[in-house]
């Protein structure tokens, strides 16, 4: 295909669609130099043009028909900025069928249907790029696919959800209650429409599944990722963790094993001197452990109109460059076979455990005996404060198999002197 300019169509003029529009229209000369020719937004589709927007999209570019846009011969690259997995999937399929390259920041869609869509793109010899789907502006997808391709990646640790990182940072620094911090994150436009996608870790799980597939070269089934959210984290946990030399983050983890991978999202204690401990507010980061590369960390804004728009626009330039050179579809999906995800019961980590107990002689001994009976080795224990006839005890274990810890906690919960196990948080990184 020989074209004089690459036409871009944007489907969805929401926060990300408008951000991409701004990035593509603000620096057209720099983009032209990099792409090897002019790149112009030629059409924008949305079903609601009455809504107020941060950018003024000229009337002649507007349409309400997304599928007219995917058929438009002036459009060579389609940006899917609809979100969700229904209309967005149809838009991408239609664009590919009409020979367009596609850029999407849609993590849920790529995590669930990426394999199918990438296969369709390969057959149609077009590009399907999704840098903005993970970590907003952070160039982690391209880094894993290209810059770090010559190293064996053994583990990825990501702070991949800005909303929960913002909430945990606010809870930790200003002791703001959870609900207030969530409301602030929503007001700033970081949160998903359904806050449980952030709070319960679905958003981060989609993102780490995408990264694991690329890093390990295997297709990953997102439903196999283990997931725990942050709603059980109490100010007390944050305080105790700090006293022990840790911060609590919602961590997304992917690790290479012999025959299996680990894929999980849960709150985790991170040592205060680890680089990830300094990632605060809405910022995201990915810490990569590679054999030849050593450790690499990428850091930046994980959400928001312009950061995500920057990533989307960068992908558009890559697609445009390939179109100008007549070589779209040159980097197909390289994930071969399916990844087998290790069951959570089989993973090993040190753990922090906070429990409420009756404040009586012999209680600590009784609990420690049950930990020992299940082969859970203890590193430290502190008793902090009294609550009437009750006390709070915080244990830190050595590295322990999850199944052994769960067995111990089941037996401990049955002791008369144990009021309840309040929280149990793995330590990582």
The residues carrying an active-site annotation are 207
- Using DSSP's 3-state secondary structure scheme, residue 151 falls into coil
Q: Which stretch in 88-96, 186-194, 389-397, 402-410 sits in contact with ligand HSE by CB under 6 A?
A: 186-194
Query: Residue 309 CB, nearest distance to ligand HSE (Å)?
Result: 12
Based on the shown chain and the rule CB under 6 A, indicate whether residue 216 belongs to the binding site for ligand HSE: no
Based on the shown chain and the rule CB under 6 A, indicate whether residue 184 belongs to the binding site for ligand HSE: no
How far is 405 from 373, CA to CA, in rounded Å?
A: 11
Q: Which stretch in 169-177, 190-198, 250-258, 358-366 sits in contact with ligand HSE by CB under 6 A?
A: 190-198
Q: Answer for the pair 36, 98: CB distance below 8 angstroms, yes or no.
A: no
> Which residues on adjacent β-strands are paired with residue 255?
155, 262
- Using DSSP's 3-state secondary structure scheme, residue 114 falls into helix
Exposure string over 159-184, b if 16+ CB within 10 A, otherwise e:
bbbbbbbbbbbbbbeeebebeebbeb
Q: Which stretch in 68-76, 185-193, 325-333, 406-414 sits in contact with ligand HSE by CB under 6 A?
A: 185-193
Shorter beta-carbon distance to ligand HSE: residue 304 or 328? 304
Based on the shown chain and the rule CB under 6 A, indicate whether residue 117 belongs to the binding site for ligand HSE: no
Q: Which stretch in 34-42, 48-56, 161-169, 406-414 sits in contact with ligand HSE by CB under 6 A?
A: 161-169
- Assign 3-state DSSP to the chain and report helix, strand, coil percentages, each to 5: 40, 25, 35
User: Which residue in the set 43, 94, 143, 163 belongs to the binding site for ligand HSE (CB under 6 A)?
Assistant: 163
Query: Which of 213, 186, 210, 212 shows the shortest CA–CA distance to 199?
Result: 186
Shorter beta-carbon distance to ligand HSE: residue 82 or 424? 82
Based on the shown chain and the rule CB under 6 A, indicate whether residue 15 belongs to the binding site for ligand HSE: no
Backbone angles phi, psi at 160, to 5 degrees: -120, 5
Pattern 295-314, ligand HSE, x by CB under 6 A: -------xx-----------
User: Which residue in the set 92, 140, 167, 191 belongs to the binding site for ligand HSE (CB under 6 A)?
Assistant: 191
Based on the shown chain and the rule CB under 6 A, indicate whether residue 206 belongs to the binding site for ligand HSE: no
- In DSSP notation, 295-349 reads EEEEEEE-SSHHHHHHHHHHHHHHHHHHHHTT-TT-S-----SBPPBPPGGG-EE
Residue 87 C-beta-side C-alpha neighbours within 13 Å: 13
Shorter beta-carbon distance to ligand HSE: residue 11 or 191? 191
Shorter beta-carbon distance to ligand HSE: residue 80 or 198? 198
Shorter beta-carbon distance to ligand HSE: residue 78 or 303? 303
Instruction: List residues binding ligand HSE (CB under 6 A).
Output: 161-163, 190-192, 198, 203, 302-303
């Amino acid at each position: 295909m020989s074209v004089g300019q690459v036409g871009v169509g944007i489907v969805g003029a929401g926060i990300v669609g408008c951000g991409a529009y701004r990035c593509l229209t603000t620096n057209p000369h720099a983009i032209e130099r990099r792409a090897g020719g002019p790149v112009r937004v030629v059409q924008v589709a949305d079903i609601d043009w009455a809504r107020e927007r941060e950018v003024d999209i000229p009337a002649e570019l507007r349409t309400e028909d997304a599928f007219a846009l995917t058929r438009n011969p002036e459009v060579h690259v389609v940006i899917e900025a609809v979100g969700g997995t229904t209309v967005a999937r149809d838009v991408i399929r239609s664009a590919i069928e009409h020979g367009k390259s596609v850029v999407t920041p849609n993590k849920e869609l790529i995590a669930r249907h990426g394999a199918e869509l990438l296969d369709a793109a390969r057959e149609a010899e077009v590009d399907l790029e999704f840098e903005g789907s993970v970590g907003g502006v952070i160039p982690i997808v391209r880094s894993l696919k290209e810059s770090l391709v010559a190293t064996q990646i053994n583990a990825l640790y990501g702070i991949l959800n800005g909303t929960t990182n913002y909430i945990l940072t606010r809870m930790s620094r200003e002791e703001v209650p959870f609900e207030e911090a969530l409301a602030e994150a929503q007001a700033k436009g970081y949160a998903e429409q359904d806050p449980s996608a952030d709070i319960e870790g679905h958003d981060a799980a989609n993102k780490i599944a995408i990264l694991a597939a690329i890093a390990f070269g295997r297709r990953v089934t997102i439903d196999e990722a283990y997931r725990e959210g942050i709603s059980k984290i109490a100010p007390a946990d944050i305080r105790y963790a700090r006293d022990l030399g840790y911060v609590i983050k919602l961590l997304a983890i992917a690790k290479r094993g012999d025959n299996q991978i680990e894929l999980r999202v849960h709150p985790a204690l991170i040592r205060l001197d680890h680089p990830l401990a300094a990632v605060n507010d809405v910022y995201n980061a990915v810490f990569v452990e590679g054999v030849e590369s050593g450790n690499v960390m990428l850091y930046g804004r994980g959400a928001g109109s312009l950061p995500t728009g920057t990533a989307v626009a960068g992908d558009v330039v890559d697609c445009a460059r390939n179109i100008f050179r007549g070589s779209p579809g040159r980097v197909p999906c390289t994930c071969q076979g399916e990844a087998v995800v290790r069951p959570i019961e089989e993973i090993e980590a040190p753990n922090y455990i906070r429990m409420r107990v009756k404040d009586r002689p012999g209680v600590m001994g009784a609990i420690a005996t049950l930990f020992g009976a299940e082969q859970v080795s203890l590193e430290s224990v502190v008793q902090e404060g009294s609550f009437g006839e009750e006390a709070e005890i915080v244990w830190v274990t050595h590295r322990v198999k999850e199944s052994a810890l769960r067995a111990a906690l089941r037996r401990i919960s049955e002791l008369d002197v144990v009021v309840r196990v309040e929280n149990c948080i793995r330590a990582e990184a």
